[in-house]
Amino acid sequence: MLKTLYIRDYAIIDELTIEFSSGLNVITGETGTGKSILIDALGLLLGERASSEDVRKGSRRSVVEGFFSISSNDHVHTLLKKHGYEDGDELIIRREVSPKSGSRAFLNDSPTQVSLLKEIGDRLIDLHGQHDHQTLLRSETHIHLLDNAGGLQEMVNDYRSGYENILSIAGEIKSLLKREAGLRQKLEFYEFQLQEIHGVDPKPDEDEDLLRELKIRENSEQLYELVTGLHSLLYEESDSVRDKLLRAQSMLDQLTEIDSDFSERLDECLSAIVVIEEIAKSLQRYSVNVEFAPEELEEIRERLYVLNGLRKKFGGTLQAVLEYRETITTEIALAKNYDSTIEEKRRELRDLQESVGKLSLRLSQKRSEIARKIEAAVVETLRELGIEHGKFSVQIDHNEVSSGSDTAVCSGDHWYAATRHGIDIVEFFISTNLGEDPKPLARTASGGEISRVMLALKTILAKNDRLPLLVFDEIDTGISGRIATKVGTAMRNLADYHQIIAITHLPQIAAMSRNHYVVEKLLIKGRTVTQVRKLEPEEHTREVAKLVSGEDVTESSMLAARELIES
């Protein structure tokens, strides 16, 4: 949901802040006041192209900023995390346009690419009007809308999981085929290398263990002198540390008899004596095991020399040598069993293609059933919106392919081209005039008629469509009277599921708004400035009355406005 739109120094807008809420938000104003500028500014937040000509004359830069609530928009959360942006319940999108330095984009105050704005914008706003940012006009989105309407997401996910496995296995086969010649050529070389490594038979961390052992043996004499000397100091000498602690114990015994507060110190002294005795015992054991064996020292040095040779040849570390041994062992096994490995992978692929093919046909059948229901509902809604002779159809096609395709799926003897979404090619077709055959939705007329088509589709798909904000720019073109009331009712009902921002000239639509904003053009200090005001209830009634009768608001137009609002 769009909570706040802030615009500064953009076109004829000096500075304004608009606070939006959920439900139906209507914007009205005289022609030329700048309503379309608001839509253009909103388009910048969706990644639309910026122009330096839009920077207000005399200003250094234009700023457009939107504050969105995204608490329940999982798609946007995923995109933000994927690209490393701060994620939370709110999202701030900002565009800055400068005559000299061009355009800059920001997400949560961090710089971003306009391409990412487009990607996020596709999951935030559906903008209908004189813009290209219209989700329903892109045929690639129709399959997702159909699935959402039918609640098929779980079935789609099951299919997609299977299809991803097909791609994975097909990729493995392709990689194996590509590597075949190279593997066979390298087989003898790999076997020679493996024999060399096996001849040394290195163990994990062996070099580090040997280096520690080498250091100890090279300093065995110094170790022996230090250990025996320390043992004597702590335990053997006539005035050793242990003897001194025993005298200290005797004194503490006497002090404790006089003052019991010394009992804790006495316990500590006894503990110290135990510690010293344990250290002395461990030193004595260590001194017995100190070895003076020059021949073993030479063996360690020779082993380290051999291991170092392997490290230099195969990766720089002993761990790298061990990993390389595993790699070439696998490669040798693959080269020797190449044909059987490929055949096994092909059987695995064929089994997957058959099981996923069955699932894709069940999914296709479900889509066909849902499509028939949507077709009837959309035609009925179009009729209510004033398109009396509208026809709407959901075309679902498949492409059959040869059985040699690794990324196709099959059922029986039939093979179908497949994607992550299934075997179906879904496109919406529509006709709005009597006697015309339905054509692809993307090729229908623009303007108010297409907006009503969008409204009809959104009304049917509303409960399952997760896009939070719909913007309708002058949806009322070419309609009036009873049809205008129908359009207003449809928009109001749609606002139960989406936030809607609508620019309109019709009192029937404005009367149904939850929040009403008026765009005004003022002359301030010799410059034209556009302002936007949120109307209080009485102002809302007067503005609806203006739409009924024009600038001269009469008692009868006020009465008509009140009746529209109350009804």
Q: What is the pLDDT of residues 214-258, one digit of tens each?
A: 888 888 888 888 999 999 999 988 889 999 999 999 999 999 999
What per-residue confidence (pLDDT) applies to 130?
A: 46
21-36, pLDDT tens digit by residue?
A: 999 999 998 877 778 8
109-148, pLDDT tens digit by residue?
A: 999 999 999 889 888 887 765 444 466 778 888 998 898 8
Give yes or no for residue 179 having a pLDDT over 80.
no
- Is 489:452 a contact under the CB 8 Å cutoff? no
Alpha carbon distance 531, 537 (integer Å): 19
Alpha carbon distance 327, 317 (integer Å): 15
What per-residue confidence (pLDDT) applies to 276?
A: 93
What per-residue confidence (pLDDT) applies to 190?
A: 82
Please give the structure tokens belonging to residue 495. Answer: 């606002």
88-98, pLDDT tens digit by residue?
A: 899 999 999 99
What per-residue confidence (pLDDT) applies to 12?
A: 84
The stretches of 407-520 forming alpha helices (DSSP H) are 448-461, 481-494, 507-510
Question: Could you tell me the sign of the dihedral formed by the alpha carbons of 126, 129, 133, 139, in that order?
Answer: positive
Cα atoms in the Cβ-side hemisphere of radius 13 Å centred on 221: 2
What per-residue confidence (pLDDT) applies to 451?
A: 67
- Candidates 509, 562, 556; CA nearest to 537 is 562
Beta carbons within 8 Å of 227's beta carbon, 6+ residues apart:
283, 286, 287, 290
Give yes or no for residue 447 having a pLDDT over 70.
no
Helix (H, G, I), strand (E, B) or coil at 385: coil
Long-range contacts of 342-348 (CB under 8 A, 24+ apart): 342/173, 342/176, 342/177, 345/169, 345/172, 345/173, 345/176, 346/173, 348/169
* Residue 195 Cα to chain centre, angstroms: 48
What per-residue confidence (pLDDT) applies to 396?
A: 95
476-500, pLDDT tens digit by residue?
A: 666 777 778 888 888 888 888 889 9
48-69, pLDDT tens digit by residue?
A: 888 888 898 888 899 999 999 9
Helix (H, G, I), strand (E, B) or coil at 26: strand
Cα atoms in the Cβ-side hemisphere of radius 13 Å centred on 32: 2
When the candidates are 2.40.160.60, 1.10.10.10, 3.30.70.20, 3.40.50.300, the CATH number that belongs to 1-130+466-535 is 3.40.50.300
Average pLDDT, the chain: 86
What per-residue confidence (pLDDT) applies to 67?
A: 95
Exposed/middle/buried for residue 363 (C-beta within 10 Å: 0-12, 13-18, 19+): buried
Beta carbons within 8 Å of 373's beta carbon, 6+ residues apart:
none
- Candidates 192, 1, 206, 207; CA nearest to 90 is 1
Give yes or no for residue 294 having a pLDDT over 80.
no
Alpha carbon distance 518, 16 (integer Å): 13
What per-residue confidence (pLDDT) applies to 51?
A: 87
Q: Which residue has the higher pLDDT, 477 or 506?
A: 506
Alpha carbon distance 38, 472 (integer Å): 12
* Residue 36 Cα to chain centre, angstroms: 32
Give yes or no for residue 525 having a pLDDT over 90.
no
Beta carbons within 8 Å of 541's beta carbon, 6+ residues apart:
558, 561, 562, 565
Cα distances from 23 to residues 123, 422, 468, 490, 501, in angstroms, run: 18, 35, 11, 12, 9
What per-residue confidence (pLDDT) applies to 478?
A: 66
What per-residue confidence (pLDDT) applies to 129?
A: 58
What per-residue confidence (pLDDT) applies to 542?
A: 92
303-312, pLDDT tens digit by residue?
A: 888 888 888 8
Q: Give the count of beta carbons closer than 10 Å to the beta carbon of residue 257.
A: 10
Give yes or no for residue 40 having a pLDDT over 90.
no
